[in-house]
Amino acid sequence: MLPIEHFQRTVKRTPDAIAVINAAGTMTYQELSDKTNALAAALQAIDPAPQSRVAICAYNTFEHLLAWLAVFAAGKTWIPLNPRNGNEELRRIAEVTNPSIIIADGDCLAKIPDTNARVILGKIPEHGANGLSTFDQLIEEFSGQTPVLPNLGPDDIQAIKFTGGSSGTPKGCVQTYRVWNTCITSMLEAFEFDQDDRNLLAAPMTHGTNTLIMPTFSVGGSQVFMGAPKPTAIIEAIEALRPTSCFLPPTVIYMMLAEPGIEDHDFSSLRHLIVGGAAIRSSEIPRAMKVFNNAVETCFGQTEAPQIAICMRAKDWMDERNHASTGRATRLTEVGIKDPDGNLLGPDESGEIVLKGDLVMQGYLDMPEMTTETIKDGWLHTGDIGTIDERGFVYIKDRIRDVIISGGFNVYPSDVEAVLGTHGDVKECVVFGGPDDKWGEVVLAAIELHDGASEDEGAIISYIKDRLDSVKAPKRIYFTDALPRSPVGKVLRREAKVQYGDQA
């Protein structure tokens, strides 16, 4: 079975059900399928080669969704190009993947690298198509035609998705049909989506949000589009559009919780507010649960094992013991902890988190040595430090490279951030290490404050000392209006270390 068949089966079962909700109205599964088939047939006509690569550069638009489905229906390989990334990074992705077709919305054309690829225009800009082929033209030309899927198996490639690159050169993760079907199945089993689910597309579709799309289609639910995904707009969209599910990074959750009067808004439609991309601070969970209809959940994965290796359901976060955990292994993935010698460790022993199963990527594109370093004896080495308790709950500490060794003691930045985040003046924070002649490294922090809060470095440091060992207290705090963030809003620890560490 191919991932697109999850959508196609629903089209046959419930052709008149609502598949898309946006500002223009609604669209049924049959209407969406007809457009998808026509565009997929066009893609095959433009490039008949099976599994040729098609890149999509777009924000969260209907045209993006249509392009995504058409690429899958045509048996092509999807290359996501996040328009929030820099032009140089997008150029490199296009260079190493060499797509034959690039699909872009009009407001993303300036991001398209200079390649020999055929450029197709999705959402048309105000100034017109400028001679480019458009979706409307291709769908009209190929109306009524159905693409013919090549003979593909579970180990053929569905997508090449690139890591964020915050820890070095971005790497292309080769995701097979097996990986995608495992992700879809794991999402369905873990979150129990059904035909009444309405998935709000708020975070970028190039990243974690896309992993909810096909599971929602598989059960006959709807995709809900909104405008620019600012925290206030997301709040308004949840109240007005009544989605049941939404995927957001923790930094957006923090910004939503910081909005004045957040407790007065109506979030009663939510059943799955899924936090991903990074761990949410345990101190924020009780309030987030109260505000967001007790619907806050999380899942952990990497581009190398997308999204759902570990999952925490809302009912498990009702137990205070689990606030610092990211959940338990999902049904089709094995999770373990290994020491530096490769030995599996027991309950509550700290080491590297490793993953095994069909969710794990095939490897890094054209990087066999890097693949061998990362996947050993079938285990994906995540680079994250953590523990697993006797109940199977996983606790993630930090990236291996981010551990601060001060005076011989290991300091995990996430432990310090968890306490910093409870300070009433702190809106967002990041902790990192800096060089020190005496201690080897010392703890440093950069902080965004709530409006009206004072930059009282001494008081905040004392707050940490009162709650943690003094070795874990920051020796210096840098106040800023804007922490460095990735294109999807994740605070970047290593960029903060470069930006502020030189001032230490």
For position 477, which CATH number holds? 3.30.300.30
Residue 488 pLDDT > 60, yes or no? yes
Residue 153 pLDDT > 90, yes or no? yes
* 76 and 134 both lie in a single domain: yes
* 224 and 371 both lie in a single domain: yes
Query: Global pTM?
Result: 0.86
Quick one: tokens of 107?
């407001």
Average per-residue pLDDT in the chain?
A: 93
Q: Quickly state the pLDDT bin for 165 (edges 50, 70, 90).
A: very low
Quick one: tokens of 231?
């925290």
Q: Quickly state the pLDDT bin for 494 (edges 50, 70, 90).
A: confident
* 318 and 437 both lie in a single domain: no
Q: How far apart are CA 256 and CA 248, in angstroms?
A: 11
* 296 and 433 both lie in a single domain: no
What does the CA dihedral 4, 367, 383, 55 come to, rounded to 10 degrees? -40
Is residue 214 assigned to a domain? Answer: yes
**Parallel, antiparallel, or unpaired for β 305-312 and 327-329?**
antiparallel
Phi, psi angle pair for 267, to nearest 5°: -115, 25
Quick one: tokens of 178?
């097996």
Please give the share of the chain, as a percent, with pLDDT higher than 90.
77
- The H helix count followed by the E strand count for the chain is 15, 27
DSSP letter string, 178-204:
HHHHHHHHHHHHHH---TT-EEEE-S-
- For residue 256, the surrounding DSSP H or E stretch is helix 250-257
| 3-state helix, strand and coil shares in percent for the chain, rounded to the nearest 5 | 35, 30, 40
Higher pLDDT, 127 or 424: 424
Q: With b meaning 16 or more CB within 10 Å and e meaning fewer, what string describes 305-328? A: bbbbbbbbbbebbeeeebbbbbbb
End of a domain among 340, 366, 400? 400
Residue 504 pLDDT > 60, yes or no? no
Is residue 113 assigned to a domain? Answer: yes
* 206 and 99 both lie in a single domain: no
* 281 and 372 both lie in a single domain: yes
**Parallel, antiparallel, or unpaired for β 245-248 and 198-201?**
parallel
* 476 and 375 both lie in a single domain: no
Domain that holds residue 14: 4-139
| Rounded mean pLDDT, 45-71 | 97
* 118 and 198 both lie in a single domain: no
Three-state DSSP string of 445-479: EEEEECCCCCCCHHHHHHHHHCCCCHHHCCCEEEE
End of a domain among 112, 139, 166? 139
Helical segments of 3-134, H only: 4-13, 29-46, 62-73, 87-97
| Rounded mean pLDDT, 96-104 | 96
Given a contact cutoff of 8 angstroms between Cβ atoms, the answer to whether 105 and 62 are in contact is no
Query: pLDDT tens across 39-54, in order?
Result: 999 999 999 999 999 9
* 54 and 120 both lie in a single domain: yes
List Cβ neighbours of 500 (8 Å cut-off, separation of 6 or more): 432, 444, 446, 478, 480
Residue 166 pLDDT > 50, yes or no? no
Q: How far apart are CA 342 and CA 352, in angstroms?
A: 9
* 300 and 430 both lie in a single domain: no
* 296 and 426 both lie in a single domain: no
* 37 and 127 both lie in a single domain: yes
The residues pairing with 435 across neighbouring beta strands, listed in sequence order, are 441
How distant, in Å, are the alpha carbons of 77, 100, 117 from that of 95? 15, 11, 11
Is residue 497 assigned to a domain? Answer: yes
Q: In the chain, what is the straight-line distance between the N-terminal and C-terminal CA atoms, in Å?
A: 55
| Rounded mean pLDDT, 13-23 | 96
Query: pLDDT tens across 301-338, in order?
Result: 999 999 999 999 999 999 999 999 999 999 999 999 99
End of a domain among 139, 161, 190? 139
Sheet with 476-479, side-by-side order of all strands: 426-436, 440-449, 476-479
